[in-house]
Amino acid sequence: MIRHATPADVPEIHRMIRELAEYEKSLDEARASEEQLHEALFGERPAAFAHIAETGDGEVAGFSLWFLNFSTWRGVHGIYLEDLYVRPGLRGGGYGKALLTELARICVERGYERLEWSVLNWNTPSINFYKALGAKPQDEWTVYRLTDEALTQLGS
């Protein structure tokens, strides 16, 4: 049901990223190309990793895309889950849980002490799903981001 993504999966991952962006009402912000995804996942120095969830008949049900982070307090790596997506018609079939279970397994196997991700505050179905798995919101933290003009201005 869960497998490592391959270069042949890049077009499908790209489609699902766009589906996710549309669901999150941010399709105009999803600018990554298939070429960029291929380089990030399978280039000379991969910056991210992905898993594919498949149905019993090989249909792609969803994906997870993640990268390593590092905790200065714990002194070890962790996994930051950038995207978890299961196609709407296949939700409730255990694919999201299976993807998260695989990432938790990798953390345990490698001695990583954190599996983290962000969720939009209005996404109640996902929040309820994560809480049911035992995940706890980090309410005392606020995410900040520099992009576009503000990033260019600060970095110039």
Tell me, what DSSP letter sits at residue 89? G
Q: Given the residues 85, 95, 112, 130, select the one marked as catalytic.
A: 130
Task: Say if residues 35 and 23 touch (Cβ distance below 8 Å).
Answer: no
Identify which of 104, 97, 70, 66 has the alpha carbon closest to the alpha carbon of residue 83: 66
Residue whose C-alpha is closest to residue 138's, from 153, 108, 156, 116: 116
Concerning whether 130 is annotated as a catalytic residue, the answer is: yes
- Tokens representing 56? 């019993």
The closest alpha carbon to 52, from 102, 88, 91, 92, belongs to 102
Q: Active-site residue numbers? A: 130
